[in-house]
Amino acid sequence: MRAFRGFSRRARAVPQSHLASARNLWSNANMHQISRNMRKTRYGNNINDYRGRMAARAFSADSDAEKGSEKKYQIRLLFDGDCPLCMREVDMLRRRSDERGGTIDFVDIASPDYNPKDNNDIDFETAMTRIHGVLPDGTIVRDIEVFKVAYEAVGLGWVYAFTQVKPLRVAADWLYGIWARNRLSMTGRSDLSTILSEKKTCGGGN
């Protein structure tokens, strides 16, 4: 008991400022430990795990951005760059497409670099007989449907809105068929067989 009373007197003799400092030190140390535990809970016991997750998220974001940038066009339009009348319309569509960030992907089938494998295996001869388009999901569209989708892509969908009426759509496809079969002669060009022969002679028979 004497020893206890002596210890108690010595404890009371300790300045209150020292006791307050000790309590603050203990409190700060305790809060620091709690903070560390919270960080471990949130980020994992190893900071490398956290960095790994952040890197994975960044990679995922980059991949999503790349996916978003791929095939942002609404239609890939295969056109004959040697057709003067066709090019007037293509130039108009290209200007409007560019204003909208590239809603149409233009592919010139008359170019020496044209490759059917890049365009759903549509070869030059097939593309020359009638107009073709390829949608982002790989669907091939032909004839008036190509113009309908292309004009919608540049904000002029109203031009071909009449094709929603079936009889008018049938009539439009029929009229386009006449144009497609005669466009070479109507624009003063050689027939398709001659063009194909010349293309093979030049080594561009795709």
Residue 86 lies in a domain: yes
Instruction: Give the per-residue pLDDT at 19.
Output: 45
* CA nearest to 80, candidates 115, 110, 105: 110
Question: Would you say residue 49 lies in a domain?
Answer: no
For residue 121, tell me if it sits in a domain: yes
pLDDT at residue number 178: 96
Domain assignment of residue 84, yes or no: yes
Domain that holds residue 194: 71-201
Beta strand spans in 40-159 (E): 75-79, 104-108, 132-134, 140-142
pTM over 0.75: no
pLDDT, residue 202, reads 75
Domain membership of residue 53 (yes or no) is no
Q: Please report the pLDDT score of residue 200 as a whole number.
A: 83
Integer Cα distance of 109 and 82 in angstroms: 9
pLDDT along the chain (206 residues), means of 10: 48 50 50 52 49 46 43 94 95 98 97 96 97 97 98 98 97 96 94 91 68
Q: What is the pLDDT of residue 71?
A: 66
The answer to whether residue 33 sits within a structural domain is no
Establish if 117 belongs to a structural domain: yes
Sign of CA dihedral 105, 143, 85, 118: positive
* Domain count across the chain: 1
Q: What is the pLDDT of residue 204?
A: 60
